[in-house]
Structure 1
Amino acid sequence: TQAAEVRESISLTGQFAAVDEVLTGRENLVLVARLRHLKEPGAIADDLLRRFSLAEAGTRRVATYSGGMRRRLDIAMSLIGNPQVIFLDEPTTGLDPEARIEVWQAVKELAKGGTTVLLTTQYLDEAEHLADRLAILHEGRIIVNGTLDELKQLLPPAKIEYVEKQPSLEDVFLTLVGAKTDKEQR
């Protein structure tokens, strides 16, 4: 019954970054702020560029951005107007491990700031890492939902086994490029 209010309180970031590559990052943000008829679109753009660690790249054309930078810009664009709820549809699909961690950090900051984030992902480690509550869909239906601990209780008790853990290929990649892993950033 209050469709306009609902549209104002939600935002969507699709599976693929919906940014204009001809424009700069700042111009993309200013454009969306103007389309939403907000006051001071330049100030809004500058604030979001800072929040998403894109201030230095803000004057560059988006075509020069990495995949992670494009996704962060896309998420930033979705936050214009301060929606209470944001839907993120597979935000890390196709990203390299470093960019994936950048997007994870952005999602964590949104949630910490009070935004409700509804995340769809096929990466179960991502859901396990980011979600407070999980819903598992199968054949288009939610078959179970709850916290991670609640879902784990659906399984038999764990057996204790000792396994030598070798570094993963992601660990090797992140070490070689000098990036901090998500665990190191906590």
Structure 2
Amino acid sequence: MTDPIHRGRSTTAAIDATTTVDATTATAATIEAYGLTKSYGKSAVRVLDGIDLRVGPGSVFSLLGPNGAGKTTTVRILATLTEADSGTARVAGYDVVADRSAVRRSISLTGQFAAVDETQTGEENLRMMARLTGANRADARRRAAELLERFDLTAAARRPAGTYSGGMRRRLDLAAGLVGSPEPRVLFLDEPTTGLDPRSRQQLWEVVRELAERGATVLLTTQYLEEADHLADRIALIDKGRIAAEGTAADLKSRVGGHRLDLALTSREAYLRLAGRAVHHSPETLTLGIPTDGSAAHVRALLDETDPTGRDIDRFSLHSATLDDVFLALTSSEAPAHV
């Protein structure tokens, strides 16, 4: 069997055991994309509008954005599940169109919902996937045991996967994508923690960190700003099919001043007057957050500038900037909410 098995949106790509790594690509970017565009439907709604990406080996790269921003479409193009209308992309050194089979042998893809056979045990799921990659019975049994231990599933190995918690199913799904030997160079995780409780999310984060530490390149899509902040070496903020900003979490936060001065205002008129310069809006409490470098001099200057009469600000507080502030500042194209 040459190509991996795809199971719809919840695909986990099996890895061909014969995959080899070209030494000439070892130090190159593991994922490269230039000018990717994609439109859907009779009205040709443009989902991607010129996406450029470059992801280095052994790193976690996050595509962060809301539903409909183009995250999943980008992953589907890079994983060879759909073709871009224009642009080029290479994954693990291979062109995603011309070298489709080689790309598939080099990747694992985990979608938003766990793609495991719930009637089989965890062990049976992994042994089945190992056999599909060409392993013999003994090697499949050995590989399944290794992955069950690695993903802390040994105690549940002989239970039907349908009895697993959401977090356990996600770990089993990730393990199923790693059954090949060698393991995939590139892991695509499309919103892998959707629907998980906080403890299960933390456990999955630990797995993702371990995979990167072992040398895998991880491209993670997420709607959760906290997730991108904790996991990603670099983050691309995607909005309406375009990259709005890219950098480390610290880089992106610095673009909105590094800190946020929250102003609780005394009137609707003052709120509306200042809303245009804010990165955080809370019309219910008449509170606005304005970027600042956090220094006393800048905070004093902002207070004097925004409230020259001393009547518009009831109280203020200073906070470190978050990715929420970056997201709101760089992706919001709509007028601030009215009160």
> TM > 0.5 between the two?
yes
Q: What's the CA shift string for 1:42-63, capped at 9, x where partnerless?
A: 1111000010000111111111
Matched with 1:131 is: 232
Matched, 1:42 2:146: no
C-alpha distance in structure 1 between counterparts of 2:130 and 2:241, whole Å: 35
Matched, 1:5 2:87: no
Q: What's the CA shift string for 1:131-176, capped at 9, x where partnerless?
A: 001000001211111111221221224227578xxxxxxxxxxxxx
Cα-Cα RMSD: 1.5
Matched with 2:324 is: none
Show the 5 A alignment for 1:139-158.
Answer: 139-158=240-259
Letter of the structure 2 residue corresponding to residue 97 of structure 1: P
Matched, 1:72 2:171: yes
TM-score (norm 1): 0.83
Letter of the structure 2 residue corresponding to residue 76 of structure 1: A
> What SS does structure 2 have at the residue aligned with 1:120?
strand
Matched with 1:91 is: 192
> What SS does structure 2 have at the residue aligned with 1:92?
coil
Moved over 3 A (4+): 160-163
Matched, 1:19 2:116: yes
TM-score (norm 2): 0.46
Letter of the structure 1 residue corresponding to residue 199 of structure 2: E
> What SS does structure 2 have at the residue aligned with 1:60?
coil
Letter of the structure 2 residue corresponding to residue 16 of structure 1: F
Q: What's the CA shift string for 1:73-100, capped at 9, x where partnerless?
A: 0011111221000000111111111111
C-alpha distance in structure 2 between counterparts of 1:61 and 1:157, whole Å: 48
Query: Which has a greater percent of strand?
Result: 2
Matched, 1:105 2:212: no
> What SS does structure 2 have at the residue aligned with 1:45?
helix
Matched with 2:223 is: 122
Matched, 1:30 2:127: yes
Shift of 1:2: 2.8
Matched, 1:59 2:158: yes
Letter of the structure 1 residue corresponding to residue 113 of structure 2: F
C-alpha distance in structure 2 between counterparts of 1:121 and 1:11, whole Å: 17
Gaps of 5+ in 1: 164-186
C-alpha distance in structure 2 between counterparts of 1:69 and 1:116, whole Å: 23
Letter of the structure 2 residue corresponding to residue 156 of structure 1: G
Query: Which has a greater percent of helix?
Result: 1
Shift of 1:3: 2.5
Q: Against the structure 1 CA distance between its residues 55 and 155, is the aligned structure 2 distance closer, same or farther, given a 3 Å change threshold?
A: same
C-alpha distance in structure 2 between counterparts of 1:64 and 1:3, whole Å: 36
Q: Against the structure 1 CA distance between its residues 145 and 10, is the aligned structure 2 distance closer, same or farther, given a 3 Å change threshold?
A: same
Gaps of 5+ in 2: 1-97, 260-293, 296-316, 320-339
> What SS does structure 2 have at the residue aligned with 1:135?
strand
